[in-house]
Every structure is written in C-alpha cells, then in structure tokens.
C-alpha cells in the first residue's frame, strides 16, 4: 500500500471485518516490515507529560508491529481493518512512527506522514497524522498528550506549516483531545472510513 498525498488516509483501507481469532493468528505469523534507518525529521528519546507518569517516547521497531496491530484491533476495529494495515504503514517512506512506553511497556503509538513534497492539500508544508492511539487502560494519563507534543515540537523545528488529520465525527473523546491541542475542524468528509463513518478534517496551523 502506498502512503503519499491523499492516499495516506485510512479511507484506502477496504475489506471485510475479521474475527478476533483470525486477526490474532494473522498478526502472530506475519513477517513485519523492517524499520527504516534514521530519519532526521523527528528526534529525541524521552518526554514526560504528566508529573505522576513517566512516559518514554521512542521510534517504532519491527518488534512493535504486533502491539500496533493489537491496539488498532481494539480501538479502530469499528472503522475498518486497521489491525492489518497499520503495521504495514509503520516503516514506509516518509513515515515516522512513535511508540509511547510506561515502565518499558508499549502503551501508545502515533503514525505520522511527513511528505517530502512541499505542497500538499494546497496548504503548504504539512504533517499528516495517520493514526494515534493509546491502550484503553492507559488512556487519560497524558500519553496522547506526550505523543502530540512531540509531533508538534518536531513539526515546528522542521518549519512545518500545518498538521492535518481525520477523525470520526462521532469520536467525541478524540475531537476533544485534538481541540485541546488547538486543532480546528475545517471540513466534513462523508463516508471517509471503510465502514462508512463520516470524518472531520482537523487542522492545526503552526506559526
């Protein structure tokens, strides 16, 4: 699957829903893609978000693919077969994939597309957040915020003008989360997801 321009959105992930057992069998036997060697755009190993929780951020490794598949199966299954496609996106060209850990346990992830082309969506230089998720048990502890702060800080360092993402219209927790980080809804996209849900395009303009 290619990840470039508008094709990086989840709307390209089509298919029939699979059972949990089928998904687990598939994730345990798959050969996952190799990580790409260093990417200059995103940096720095450690971030602490809330004082009570030490959250470590690092680049994704090949061994994280089953975690990403499992997490996507838990939080994105209603939208499409993201447990199957997200691990494939992790190390594609132009992608930066971050893993958040608490006590060495992966608890969250962000998959970000940073196009080399300087003009995308007619908006200038953008970063596109393909997916962001935190394990249900670890939500609301600042993990998402740590991931988002890292993405925003690195985007500013790299003179990115906009951060763009899509999220389901009915996903109020995510919309609140993104609004808390000053994202604004700019568009409604009908039937954006493979399972048919509408999405909002949300944008953060960086000064």
Ligand X SMILES: CC(C)(COP(=O)(O)OP(=O)(O)OC[C@H]1O[C@@H](n2cnc3c(N)ncnc32)[C@H](O)[C@@H]1OP(=O)(O)O)[C@@H](O)C(=O)NCCC(=O)NCCS
Residues that bind ligand X (CB under 6 A): 75, 131-134, 139-145, 167, 171, 173-174, 176-177, 180
Q: How far is the CB of 194 from ligand X (least distance, A)?
A: 14
Nearer to ligand X, 87 or 144 (CB): 144
Nearer to ligand X, 34 or 179 (CB): 179
Nearer to ligand X, 143 or 204 (CB): 143
Nearer to ligand X, 40 or 176 (CB): 176
Q: How far is the CB of 125 from ligand X (least distance, A)?
A: 22
Q: How far is the CB of 118 from ligand X (least distance, A)?
A: 25
Q: How far is the CB of 132 from ligand X (least distance, A)?
A: 5
Nearer to ligand X, 96 or 174 (CB): 174
Secondary structure in 3-state letters for the chain: CCCCHHHHCHHHCCCCCCCHHHHHHHHHHCCCCCCCCCCCCCCCCECCCCCCCCEEEEECCHHHHHHHHHHHHHHCCCCCCHHHHHHHHCCCCCEEEEEEEECCEEEEEEEEECCCCCCCCCCCCEEEEEEEEECHHHCCCCHHHHHHHHHHHHHHHCCCCEEEEEEECCCHHHHHHHHHCCCEEEEEECCCCCCCCCEEEEEEECC
Q: How far is the CB of 38 from ligand X (least distance, A)?
A: 26
């Amino acid at each position: 699957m290619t990840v470039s321009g508008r094709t990086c959105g989840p709307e390209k992930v089509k298919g029939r829903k699979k059972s949990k057992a089928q998904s687990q069998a598939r994730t345990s036997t798959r050969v996952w893609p190799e990580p790409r060697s260093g990417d200059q755009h995103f940096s720095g190993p450690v971030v602490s978000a809330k004082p009570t929780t030490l959250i470590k951020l690092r680049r994704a490794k090949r061994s994280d693919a089953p975690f990403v598949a499992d997490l996507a199966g838990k939080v994105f299954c209603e939208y499409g077969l993201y447990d199957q496609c997200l691990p494939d996106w992790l190390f594609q060209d132009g992608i930066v994939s971050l893993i958040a850990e608490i006590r060495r346990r992966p608890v969250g992830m962000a998959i970000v597309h940073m196009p080399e082309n300087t003009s995308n969506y007619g908006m200038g230089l953008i970063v596109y957040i393909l997916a962001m998720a935190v394990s249900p048990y670890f939500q609301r502890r600042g993990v998402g915020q740590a991931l988002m702060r890292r993405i925003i800080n690195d985007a500013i360092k790299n003179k990115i003008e906009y951060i763009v993402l899509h999220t389901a219209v009915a996903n109020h927790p995510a919309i609140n989360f993104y609004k808390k980080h000053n994202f604004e809804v700019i568009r409604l996209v009908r039937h954006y997801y493979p399972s048919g849900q509408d999405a909002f395009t949300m944008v953060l303009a960086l000064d």
